[in-house]
Structure 1
C-alpha cells in the first residue's frame, strides 16, 4: 500500500494538521498532533430505539457487559476515539458477519435478543460497522503518511465476578488486573514496546496496590479490530489491546471508583510517554 495519504477525503481534511470535516453521531473523535491513537470501542451504551423492543436483557445487564469508563483512559492518546453505540447494537471488535449476533454463544451464553432481528435492523447496524472501518482506514492512512508508523491502543475492560454480586471473584491466575494483548503485531519490530508497557503499567499502583500486568492471558486470540489493523497495515501499526479487570468499579452495582480510574490512567500515560519516541522516530 502506498504510504501517501488518500487523495480524496470523506472524513478528514488537511490544513496545518489533520482536522475533522464534520462531526459524527456515531463516535466522539478528538484529533491532536501525534502518532498515538487510543480507542474505547465498547465504552458506549446508546441503543437505537427501534432495537430496544427486541432486547431480552434489561439495561443493567447490558451495561454490565459493556466497558464503562474505558473512555476516560483514551485521554492518553493524541487521537482519542470513543464509540457511542452499545456493543450490542453493533460490535466493532468482531467481523462484519458477527457484528450483530443473536447467537448466545457469541455473548457469553447470555440471551441478548428475543429472537431473530428484522433485516432492516441488521442493515442499520452493519452500516455503522462499515462507516467505522471506512473512517479508521482514512484516519490511519493519514497518520501513517504523517508519522510513518502508529501506535493504536485498543482499550477494553472485563468482568471478574460473573458468579454473582455476593460470590467470590474469579481466580487471579487467569485474570490479571491488566491483560496486555499483543497477538496481532510484528513482534520483531514492536516487541520491546510491549515489554516496556507491561513493565511500566506494573510499576504504577492503583487503589494503593501493585497491579498484576501480564500478556495474552485472558484473551489469547485477540479481537477483530487489532487483527484487521495488522492485516491491513502490517508493521506500520503497533496495535495493543489493553483489557482492564473491573477493579475500578462494582460490576454489579455499576458504581465506579474515580480515584482508581485516575490511577490507571496515570499508569497508562506513563507507559505511553515512555514508548512515544519509538513512533515519532519513524518519520
Structure 2
C-alpha cells in the first residue's frame, strides 16, 4: 500500500476468522485467534530519505529515543503489531496535531529538526497517522464483535542513563524495571487484571534478579493511544501500557542482551496467560 491509499478503505475481511486483506508498508501485523492485541508502536527506525534531510539529530541519537527490541515482546499477543517507521517520522502515541512536532516540549528539550518541516512532509506523516487509527478502529471493532472485550498491551521502553554513557544510571526509586501505565482504563472493571499482571510480572526474574514492577510511576498522564482506545470503546477495552526500562540493552551503544530480552518476553507471556480467562469470558 502506498502513501496515497485512502484511510477509509477496509483493512480486513471476515469469513470464519479475521484476515488482513490490505497489508501496509507502515507496519507488520499478524492476526491470530484471540482477544489480546500487543503493539510496539515506537519500535521502528525507518524514515523517509526526504525527511531525514531536515533532522538536526544523528542516527544514534534518534535510535536512543526510540524503543528498540519492544517488537520482540509483542509475541504475547494473539494480534501482534509492530510499526516500522520511527516515532520521529510519525508519533502514533500522540494526537494527530502533535504527531510530527517541532516543539521542544514534545521532544524532551532535544532539538530534533533544523527548522520548520515542509508541508508535504507533514502531510505524508499525518496520512500515516490517519491510516494507523483507521486500521486499529476496524481491527478493534472486529475483535469486540468476536470476543466482547479486548486486552491491548501498549509496549514501550525508556532510557535511564540520560546523564551520559559513563555516568551513573538514574536511581531506581522513580525508575522501575517495568512501569505499568493504567491511567485511563475503567478501574472498577479492569483493576484486578492490572493487579494480577503486576503480580505475575514481578514474580519473574531477568538477568538473574527479581523485577521491580510498579504502576503509574513515570508517566502519570498516559499516552494518546491508550487514552483514545478508552475514550472510544469504554470498558470493552482494557489498554495497559508497559514501559520497560532499558535494562535489556546499553542505550548508548544500542547493544542488546538477548538473554534478558528473552527473560522479559517469558514474563509477559506468563502475565497474559494469567489474565486471559477474563477476556475469554466476555464472549
Find the counterpart in structure 1 of residue 178 from structure 2.
Answer: 178
Deviation string 1:166-185 (CA, Å, 9 cap, x unpaired) is 00001110000000000010
How is 1:40-189 mapped onto 2 (pairs within 5 angstroms)?
40-189=40-189
> Aligned partners of 1:216 and 1:134: how far apart in 2?
28
Structure 1 runs, 4 residues or longer, greater than 6 Å off:
none
SS for the counterpart of 1:143 is helix
Deviation string 1:201-231 (CA, Å, 9 cap, x unpaired) is 0000000000100000010110000000000
Q: Select between 8-17 and 173-182 the one with higher mean Cα deviation.
A: 8-17
Find the counterpart in structure 2 of residue 207 from structure 1.
Answer: 207
> Aligned partners of 1:136 and 1:100: how far apart in 2?
20
Q: For the aligned residues, what is the CA RMSD?
A: 0.8
> Aligned partners of 2:219 and 2:176: how far apart in 1?
11
Deviation string 1:128-166 (CA, Å, 9 cap, x unpaired) is 000000000000000000000000000000000000000
Deviation string 1:204-263 (CA, Å, 9 cap, x unpaired) is 000000010000001011000000000000000000000000000000000000000000
> Aligned partners of 1:246 and 1:75: how far apart in 2?
19
CA contact (8 A) 1:29 1:82 kept: yes
CA contact (8 A) 2:38 2:78 kept: yes
SS for the counterpart of 1:23 is coil
How many residue pairs get aligned? The number is: 276
Q: Which runs of 5+ in 2 are unaligned?
A: 1-7
Q: CA deviation at 1:104?
A: 1.4
SS for the counterpart of 1:137 is helix
CA contact (8 A) 1:47 1:89 kept: yes
CA contact (8 A) 2:154 2:242 kept: yes
Deviation string 1:64-122 (CA, Å, 9 cap, x unpaired) is 00000000000000000000000000000000000000111111110000000111110
TM-score, normalised by the number of residues in structure 2 = 0.97
Find the counterpart in structure 2 of residue 256 from structure 1.
Answer: 256
Q: Which runs of 5+ in 1 are unaligned?
A: 1-7
Q: CA deviation at 1:22?
A: 2.3
Q: CA deviation at 1:15?
A: 1.6
CA contact (8 A) 1:9 1:138 kept: no
How is 1:200-279 mapped onto 2 (pairs within 5 angstroms)?
200-279=200-279
